Structure 1
């Protein structure tokens, strides 16, 4: 396995742990040595093991859309590829082309091509039939992962929530509502196509390289926070970690959070209530933590910080910040 494939497996396992899956059992059922993964050294995973890893993750989580939710949860910087994209790209179109070229470094289950016309540009997956035959279940999960990850890649490059023009893929009727929520587009059922199209206007947009620094900064903060809560498996901690990891486009809603953990919003609220905390309190605490982090870094204007934290009006952010700290953002920056 190359470095990017190892990085993906480690990201997969980190997400499985976040979903409260028993990693030792997951690895044992899949014929994978957990100790080798944990040590971060050399390890190899064959096609059958990789297929079983996906199959058992879906089974243990009771989530047939595990790949879709993994793609939703991973920020762009997590796979270690974005640095190469940023260094070699100035526009979204160039970034997409370079990302497509890097796809074989992550998976050999399929290739990816990009085409465009006057109105849209389209990403299409092309199955590698021999590898697909060896890992059929993994193929479907990885395909879903790549489609949603493409959406989040574009989000991260221009700091906006992009809505695809069209998504075409095989899916079961029961999966349609969740596919529409995650992909932000009503999916079209196909027999064997995996296609996603975006408005052509994004193609020539400049990449906002500062967003990569923002995601890197977030990852560092998450790592620091996680080190202080090692071994904590409370719902409060899981929600906080998810909010932090995915905060570069604002705070996700309770409904989005619950869906990613494959529970109902009411169930998530009840679990948090049992721990004597509410989702709103956790969201505000994360917003406060990030606001302080951004202000202390000195690299962002207050208006930018307000937008990054999901506030449509600077005045609303200023009121919230004063409620948290007793001073305005500008006042805090002057004395910090």
Structure 2
């Protein structure tokens, strides 16, 4: 397995349950079979999302939504157990949002009450993860599955669903599963429910178990949230600084309103090396830009802070073992 990054997701029993589906594609996503058998292993978030994209290309263009709607709370460890044991729907929704970082970094889960609706939203917050269609659909599908599970109402449907990506060529599964107006190319991934959702009983509630799990999850949240928040902010600032000629620690610290020594100290606290983080951001953005036709390779090189296209090409070959031109052709072939 590739060396875990600081932004991770726990395998829990989800990977064991879906071992037959995931196993053939783990190596291609930079993962190994240990994640199928070890619930507490941490998977780099970027590799996890890439695994979903590979499945979308190789297995089923709607695989994220298809697996999401089949996933049950117990597959996601203490996070899922706390949600299903919450005494009220309001507490269940709060758990989904507040403790999401315990399960995974680089994500945002929110719920709000607005205009007589309950809105549950999700987004991957890592700026270097640009291809995340399947991850978004898996999570939206899982949220709906979870709400149906805890209310024991398999017919529970949202009033509306939003997705941040473009509408798939075949979206029949989306219509069948969600059974509501669907909107694509939105600013976020959202499910909208009537306010009456808050009055629905949680039929899987177990107040004593919830009381035992909540302090543990809060402790874990306080451990995991700082590194997740810091790295998400750093990733955004590094990405925006690259096109200005590179992302030095001094430049990024200044854009964050910090002194270089303060930033260095915060990174050291989380055992994160700035140079390697810049390399990860640059590589992830390079793969995303090259895979699309929106930019010429010269423009990609400039966006990533390279003065010459040849320097970028050498770095890209070092990262991927193929040239940018070959990578772009492979990406097109995968989408065909």
TM-score, length-scaled by structure 1: 0.52
Q: Distance in 1 between matches of 2:35 and 2:124?
A: 28
Matches within 5 A, 1:1-336: 5-8=9-12, 10-12=13-15, 14-15=17-18, 17=20, 19=21, 23=23, 25-34=24-33, 36-40=34-38, 43-61=41-59, 63-80=60-77, 81-87=79-85, 89-128=86-125, 131-133=126-128, 135-137=129-131, 139-160=132-153, 161-169=155-163, 170-209=165-204
C-alpha contact 1:164 1:185 (8 A) present in aligned 2: yes
Q: Distance in 2 between matches of 1:72 and 1:12?
A: 15
Q: What per-residue deviation string (whole Å, max 9, x for no partner) do you get for residues 163-208 of structure 1?
A: 1011111332423322111222231123432111111112022211
Pairwise CA RMSD: 2.9
Distance 1:11 1:187, change over 3 A: same
Partner secondary structure for residue 32 of structure 1? coil
Distance 1:210 1:49, change over 3 A: closer
C-alpha contact 1:51 1:136 (8 A) present in aligned 2: no
Distance 1:179 1:14, change over 3 A: same
Q: Distance in 1 between matches of 2:174 and 2:167?
A: 10
- Alignment size in residue pairs: 199
Q: What per-residue deviation string (whole Å, max 9, x for no partner) do you get for residues 56-104 of structure 1?
A: 222331x1222111101112222122322244x3221221111111222
Distance 1:59 1:45, change over 3 A: same
Larger CA deviation: 44-53 vs 76-85? 44-53
Q: Distance in 1 between matches of 2:195 and 2:27?
A: 46
C-alpha contact 1:67 1:144 (8 A) present in aligned 2: yes
Q: Which runs of 4+ in 1 moved over 6 A?
A: none
TM-score, length-scaled by structure 2: 0.52
Q: CA deviation at 1:149?
A: 1.3
Q: Name the structure with the higher helix share.
A: 1
Distance 1:174 1:155, change over 3 A: same
C-alpha contact 1:158 1:208 (8 A) present in aligned 2: yes
